Amino acid sequence: MSQQAPTNVLEAWPDESREATKLVIDKYGDPDEVAQSFLVWHRAGPWKRIVATQNFVEHQFPAPHIDAIECVIDYHVPPERASEIAQFDGSVIVERTAGEVSARCHDEEANKLALNLMHDIVTGAKSVTEARDYYAEEFLNARRNGPTPYMDELRFEPEVTAKDSDSRVLSDEQLEAAQQQGSK
């Protein structure tokens, strides 16, 4: 990975990604890692990491915007809740084995909103429908300069370690037997 100045890298980025990334730089300073297509900050604010990407994704929920800033936390989502998270917001990504959840949106505040609502779904405080409705309401409140408690801060503590290495189903003997069969 190159250690170029972030401003040099950003010059080649689309306006949408560049503007979103400049907000992160203004708040947290220069990134810890710089590559042509992404910048990374480690342990910035409440985040395990923040990743700003050159290539943004267009997202329609709750209104058209771009997703270019990903904020990552350590968090265990029980497997039986993962599909609810996907139904809630396709830009909230659960990585069960790593024990991470991230939200990717146009800014850090929207990511806080998404992750707070993810937590509400996991804990049973809100259904998927209630979380989507609340997201839309708070999104509008932000535009009205109204109260946005779910955008202001994470309303829960990220976990220290949330990794889930899953359960082994193949024995060493099975693997060795398969290896022997494959080498014949």
Rounded CA separation 96/118 (Å): 14
Whether 147 contacts 141, CB under 8 Å? yes
Which pLDDT score is estimated for 132? 98
Rounded CA separation 68/102 (Å): 12
3-state secondary structure of 53: strand
Return the DSSP state at 159: P
Q: ω into residue 62 within 30 of 0, thus cis?
A: yes
**All structural domains of the chain with their residue ranges:** 6-182
Return the DSSP state at 78: P
- Say if residue 169 is exposed, middle or buried (CB neighbours under 10 Å; 0-12, 13-18, 19+): exposed
Which pLDDT score is estimated for 1? 43
Which pLDDT score is estimated for 88? 98
- Long-range contacts of range 54-59, CB-CB < 8 Å, 24 or more positions apart? 54/12, 54/13, 54/14, 54/17, 55/17, 56/14, 56/16, 56/17, 56/20, 57/91, 57/104, 59/90, 59/91, 59/105
Per-residue pLDDT of 136-176, as tens digits, reads 999 999 999 999 999 999 999 997 778 888 888 999 999 99
Percent of the chain with pLDDT over 90: 87
Residues of the chain with pLDDT under 70: 1-5
Whether 70 contacts 104, CB under 8 Å? yes
Which pLDDT score is estimated for 6? 78
Which pLDDT score is estimated for 4? 65
Which pLDDT score is estimated for 163? 83
